[in-house]
Amino acid sequence: MGVLQEKPTQITEEELKELNDLQQTKQNLIFSLGELEYEKLRLEAQKQHLENQFNLIVQNEFNLSQQISERYGNSKVNLKTGELTPISN
List, for residues 24-80, the tens digit of each pLDDT value: 999 999 999 999 999 999 999 999 999 999 999 999 999 999 999 999 999 999 999
Domain-embedded: residue 2: no
Domain-embedded: residue 63: yes
Distances (CA, A) of 49 to 29, 39, 43, 52: 30, 15, 10, 5
- pLDDT tier, 87 (very low <50, low <70, confident <90, very high otherwise): confident
Domain-embedded: residue 21: yes
- How far is 78 from 85, CA to CA, in rounded Å? 8
Domain-embedded: residue 54: yes
What is the total count of domains within the chain? 1
Domain-embedded: residue 6: no
- How far is 12 from 22, CA to CA, in rounded Å? 15
Domain-embedded: residue 3: no
Q: Which domain holds residue 23?
A: 13-86
Interior/surface letters 23-36, b for 16+ CB within 10 angstroms, e for the rest: eeeeeeeeeeeeee
